[in-house]
Every structure is written in structure tokens, then in C-alpha cells.
């Protein structure tokens, strides 16, 4: 592979058929390129175009477009409509392009698919190649899948990676993240959240499963805060009195709160053993009270019997 082809990025250049002497990779003035009348796409996402344009300003056009020569020194676009539009937004004068002869470009789709199946591409390079076959050359995902030996779902998942922001795609291209990370990040709908997750996944060396978990958490709406309950002044006064009385009787800090029509009392302990000791003290106090009550009842019973005897005399 020539230095030019390496410098433009391997994705499209790696899978394009090697040109002859009359063809090749070169830089062409953007103003000399006419649109492709066979372009199957009629609309492009303006936000994504703007993002790609910003990436082009910083990094240049990494994926060359494909053109064929016309009379008068002009060119017709064969593939790469999105990149060409973004380049115009970025206001660059020259764009890297693969020049194909008129009798050759109609066979480009088959050659792209065949070479893609043979080359060792990363996930983003494969995604861009598949997107070009589908969006620029008009193949269906089923046709692409048959030609490269993959299912339609696999091709769809690859192309969907291109919905990621450019920063995330670059992390996949450079090997910091995998295709699985990319699919996990796509769970989030917001581009800003996707960028943050991609950076965090790289910095934290997250697994794909961890990235999926974080993405789901990011998509979950925050739980609504419970509305504070308004307590009637009389009830609040009664709860405060209960806290003071119980605290004085038990020698512990006590909290009383309303729960529906009932009252919940909480007693604070530094250690579970203190709670056990308090319970034993309360049980002992209860036993002593019962004993006193029984003795008092017995005394009353004896007095009643004596009084009855006196009356009989």
C-alpha cells in the first residue's frame, strides 16, 4: 500500500480495488465535484454533518471520496456524499478522492464488498465501508451481508456505530474501545452523554458489561423526590411530648413520627447490647409491678374477709 493510501486512513482506501496508472488517490478541488445523480439518499442529518465538519477541520478527511472524471476537467461523485457535504461546510478547498474510470465505477460495489471480506479492518472502518455500500451505492443490508458473509443484523449493528460522536468513533478506531463498547454507549440518546461515557470507559478501563450498566443508569430518569408531608400542629405537639416523656423515662434519645394514623417511635442505642439490657430492665420492672399488684390484691382480700367476720359477730 502506498504512503498516500496509508495517510488517508485505511477504511475506504484499504478496501477499494487497486487503481491502474490512470486512476489513483489524489486531492481534488471541492468546487470541481458535481453531485451523484444516482445518490439514493435525499436528506442528511444536519447535526451530524456539523459534527463531521468540525472533525474535518481538526483531523482532515480521513476517508477519501470516490469520483469519476467528466468532460471539461470536472468530476462526478460516486461515493462519499456525506463527507463531501461536510467538507464544504468546513470550507476546505481540496478533498482526497479515489479516481475511477467511467467503465469501472459500476463494478465498485462488488469489489468493495469482496475486499472488505478479505481485509483486517477495525469496526469503524467496516462500518464506514458498509455505510458507503448501502447509502452511497444503493445496496441493501441483506445484499451487503451476503457478499461479506454476515447477517443483515450484523451489518445493521455495524452501520449503527456511525451514530456515535466522532470522539467515540476515534476511540474505537485506535483500539481504546471495542465494537461492544460502542453498541453499549448507543443505549444513550444524548450525544453529550455518549461522549462522556466513551471517555469514562477508556479512562476507567470498563468492560462492555460495565459500560452497558452505566449507559442504562444514565438513561434512567431521576427518581422524583418525595413531597414533604404536612403534619397538623396538634399532632406535631403530641409527638414532641411523646418524645420528651419517653426520653425521660428510658434515659435514651427518642424520635417519634407519624405513619398514617399511627405513631412510630425510634430509640437510639450505641450498641445492640444496650437494647437487650433495656428490654430486660423493662421486663423486670413489669414483673415487680405484677407482684406488687398481686400483693395489694391479696391484702385487700384478707381485709375484706376480716371485715365480713366482724359483721357476722
Phi, psi (deg, nearest 5) at residue 284: -65, -40
Burial class (CB in 10 A: 0-12, 13-18, 19+), 142: exposed
Decide: 198 and 167 in contact? Cβ < 8 Å: yes
Strand-pair category, 262-267 with 24-29: unpaired
Q: Cα–Cα distance between 231 and 43 in angstroms, integer?
A: 59
* Angstrom distances, CA of residue 40 to CA of 32, 114, 133, 148: 21, 22, 11, 21
Q: Using the 8-state DSSP alphabet, how is residue 269 labeled? A: -
Q: What residues pair up with 99 in beta bridges, in sequence order? A: 24, 67
* Angstrom distances, CA of residue 278 to CA of 24, 257, 271: 91, 21, 11
Q: Cα–Cα distance between 230 and 288 in angstroms, integer?
A: 42
Give the helix, strand, coil percentages of the chain, each rounded to 5.
60, 10, 30
Strand-pair category, 254-259 with 75-79: unpaired
Burial class (CB in 10 A: 0-12, 13-18, 19+), 148: buried
Does residue 81 have an active-site annotation? yes
Question: Which candidate in 46, 51, 54, 81 is catalytic?
Answer: 81
Active site residues: 81
Amino acid at each position: 500500500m502506498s504512503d498516500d493510501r496509508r495517510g488517508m486512513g485505511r477504511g475506504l482506501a484499504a478496501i477499494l480495488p487497486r487503481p491502474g496508472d490512470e486512476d489513483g488517490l489524489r486531492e481534488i478541488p471541492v468546487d470541481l465535484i458535481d453531485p451523484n445523480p444516482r445518490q439514493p439518499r435525499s436528506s442528511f442529518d444536519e447535526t451530524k454533518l456539523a459534527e463531521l465538519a468540525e472533525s474535518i477541520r481538526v483531523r482532515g478527511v480521513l476517508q477519501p471520496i470516490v469520483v469519476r472524471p467528466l468532460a471539461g476537467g470536472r468530476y462526478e461523485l460516486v461515493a462519499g456524499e456525506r463527507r463531501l457535504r461536510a467538507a464544504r461546510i468546513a470550507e476546505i478547498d481540496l478533498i482526497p478522492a479515489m479516481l475511477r474510470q467511467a467503465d469501472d465505477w459500476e463494478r465498485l460495489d462488488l469489489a468493495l464488498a469482496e475486499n472488505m471480506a478479505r481485509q483486517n479492518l477495525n469496526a469503524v472502518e467496516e462500518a464506514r465501508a458498509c455505510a458507503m455500500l448501502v447509502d452511497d451505492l444503493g445496496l441493501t443490508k441483506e445484499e451487503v451481508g451476503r457478499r461479506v458473509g454476515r447477517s443483515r443484523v450484523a451489518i445493521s449493528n455495524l452501520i449503527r456505530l456511525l451514530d456515535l460522536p466522532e470522539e467515540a468513533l476515534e476511540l474505537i478506531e485506535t483500539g481504546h474501545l471495542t465494537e461492544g463498547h460502542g453498541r453499549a454507549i448507543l443505549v444513550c440518546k444524548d450525544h453529550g452523554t455518549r461522549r462522556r461515557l466513551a471517555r469514562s470507559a477508556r479512562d476507567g478501563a470498563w468492560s462492555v458489561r460495565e459500560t452497558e450498566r452505566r449507559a442504562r443508569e444514565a438513561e434512567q430518569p431521576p427518581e422524583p423526590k418525595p413531597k414533604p408531608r404536612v403534619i397538623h400542629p396538634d399532632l406535631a405537639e403530641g409527638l414532641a411530648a411523646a418524645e420528651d416523656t419517653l426520653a425521660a423515662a428510658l434515659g435514651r434519645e427518642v424520635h417519634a413520627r407519624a405513619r398514617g394514623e399511627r405513631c412510630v417511635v425510634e430509640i437510639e442505642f450505641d450498641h445492640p447490647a444496650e437494647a437487650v439490657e433495656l428490654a430486660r430492665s423493662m421486663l423486670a420492672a413489669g414483673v415487680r409491678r405484677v407482684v406488687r399488684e398481686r400483693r395489694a390484691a391479696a391484702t385487700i382480700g384478707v381485709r375484706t374477709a376480716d371485715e365480713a367476720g366482724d359483721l357476722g359477730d
